[in-house]
Structure 1
Amino acid sequence: MEKPTLHTVLSPRLLDLYDLSSSIVVIIDVFRATSTIATALYNGAVQVVPVSSVEECIEKGNSIPNSVTAGEREGKVIPGLQFGNSPAEYPRSFIEGKTLVITTTNGTKLLNMAKNNGASEILTGSFPNFSAVCQYLKESNKNVILGCSGWKDRFNIEDTLFAGAVASEIQDAFTIHCDSTLMATQMYESNAGDLLSFAKKTSHWHRLANFGLSYDLEYCISKDVANVLCYYQDGVVLGK
């Protein structure tokens, strides 16, 4: 039987070059949106509602019972929203049973792009839910697109590292003729023994560490600390 294909999209600017209609699209925003989504759902959030704008975030927060609003721009909490985009803000003791409405610089934008471009299925992925993502992709036997959110449409290393980690783990189940996936896989495999040291060199690490977020960043490159499958359905991200 012919194997499904796997491609890596290194920037949202490249997404429209791919046919999403027969593919599972994995939205990757390691620092920090998809890590925060996985953490909230793992810790018992009812759902996560990703939105593109601050105004929509506030509006939905006012209309959805037992919800909290959260978001960031340029790595900073947005005035008018209750919380930020730090996984540490959503322990079980706080988020269980609540809805998280969130807007971020990069990840929520790409998720909405994938939806609008007709993706067959959409997942959100990060190192905290690494194994759940890999297992689902292998079992689904469908084409896969690993979508890196990047930074303001530019390439970034941390999202590419995660794409490489996934590709390295599941490559035997897929046909891969994709140079960006090859690059991502080699980048990951060359640094898998010490991801932390490599991640600390990235521009996004320096940007966020200046806000005192080093703990967040170390958490965001830790595998399976919030190992829940996060899937997008009817405007919300659910966990299973």
Structure 2
Amino acid sequence: MDKKPTLFTVLSPKLTDLYNLDGCIVVIIDVFRATSTIASALYNGAERVIPVAQVDACIEIGKELNAITAGERDGKIIEGLLHGNSPLEYSREFIENKTLVLTTTNGTQMLHLALERGADEIITGSFPNLNSVCAHLKLRRKNVILACSGWKNRFNMEDTLFAGAVIDNVKDFFEIHCDSSLMAQNLFKVQKKDLKTFAALTTHWHRLAKYGLENDMLYCLSENVADVLPFYDKTKQCLYSKTSID
């Protein structure tokens, strides 16, 4: 019998150095809201999403490509960018066939950290595209790192819940000897019947609720409402909707 690939869960960007990303599929997770926004934009027909770490780069690339620039810091739209990090902004009527350049507090930072650490393949995941993420991991049969973006390098609950949802779905396909993965899976199994009520207790929910973003967060916790696979193309430095396994 072939040996199963491994799966580990990184609970914070600060812990990334403790894991070997070589040869791994890294799933970038930022439920509130970057990876939910990426899924929403691509599901609604965006040509590509360019994730950037810095605001200046976002503005410059947006001008060069005549693209939509968007992003936030601490949950608020950044001055100089056109739009925010709300998945509900990117309807098909607005985003179809356009390029979105995105910078966020946590998710785009984690993606670039994974690139720096030598990730073999990068996809992004959130509850809106749960099925596509799980199907891809099962088919690829490669080692996996579930990379939770957290909040400013701290642990957060919603990213861990999504990691647990993935693990609960794919566990039979992987060798999982990882306490953070065990914790994430058990947390999800306990809370999945009323995920939104539990998530409303979290620190990040309260932080974003101050800006009236409850509908955003409810969308971000809704399974498979934007079920695409955002795949990072290292050559083109962008995410696009991948529809087949290479």
The aligned length equals 239
Superposed CA deviations along residues 171-227 of structure 1, whole A, max 9, x for unmatched, are 000000000000000000001101001100000000001100000000000000000
Shift of 1:17: 1.1
Q: Does 1:237 align with 2:246?
A: no
Task: Tell me the secondary structure at the aligned position of residue 102 of structure 2.
Answer: strand
Partner of 1:56: 57
Partner of 2:93: 93
- Aligned-partner residue type, residue 192 of structure 1: K
- Aligned-partner residue type, residue 76 of structure 2: K
Q: Distance in 2 between matches of 1:148 and 1:88?
A: 22
Shift of 1:22: 1.3
Q: Distance in 2 between matches of 1:189 and 1:216?
A: 23
- Aligned-partner residue type, residue 101 of structure 1: V
Partner of 1:172: 172
Give the structure-1-normalised TM-score.
0.99
Superposed CA deviations along residues 5-42 of structure 1, whole A, max 9, x for unmatched, are 00000000011111111110000000000000000000
Q: 1:133-172, aligned counterparts within 5 Å?
A: 133-172=133-172
Task: Tell me the secondary structure at the aligned position of residue 39 of structure 1.
Answer: helix
Q: 1:1-240, aligned counterparts within 5 Å?
A: 1-65=2-66, 67-234=67-234, 235-240=237-242
- Aligned-partner residue type, residue 125 of structure 1: G
- Aligned-partner residue type, residue 24 of structure 1: I
- Aligned-partner residue type, residue 160 of structure 1: T
Task: Tell me the secondary structure at the aligned position of residue 55 of structure 1.
Answer: helix
Q: Distance in 1 between matches of 2:54 and 2:33?
A: 17
Superposed CA deviations along residues 97-138 of structure 1, whole A, max 9, x for unmatched, are 100000000000000000111101000000000000000000
Shift of 1:51: 0.4
- Aligned-partner residue type, residue 78 of structure 2: I
Where do 5+ consecutive residues of structure 2 fail to align? none
Task: Tell me the secondary structure at the aligned position of residue 175 of structure 2.
Answer: coil
Superposed CA deviations along residues 147-166 of structure 1, whole A, max 9, x for unmatched, are 00000000000000000000
Q: Distance in 1 between matches of 2:69 and 2:158?
A: 26
Task: Tell me the secondary structure at the aligned position of residue 142 of structure 1.
Answer: coil
- Aligned-partner residue type, residue 153 of structure 2: D
Shift of 1:4: 0.3
Where do 5+ consecutive residues of structure 1 fail to align? none
- Aligned-partner residue type, residue 212 of structure 2: G
Task: Tell me the secondary structure at the aligned position of residue 97 of structure 1.
Answer: coil
Structure 1 vs Structure 2: percent identity of aligned residues?
A: 60
- Aligned-partner residue type, residue 203 of structure 2: S
Task: Tell me the secondary structure at the aligned position of residue 46 of structure 2.
Answer: coil
- Aligned-partner residue type, residue 47 of structure 1: R
Q: Distance in 2 between matches of 1:206 and 1:18?
A: 31
Q: Distance in 2 between matches of 1:121 and 1:98?
A: 24
Moved over 3 A (4+): none
- Aligned-partner residue type, residue 59 of structure 1: E
Task: Tell me the secondary structure at the aligned position of residue 101 of structure 1.
Answer: strand
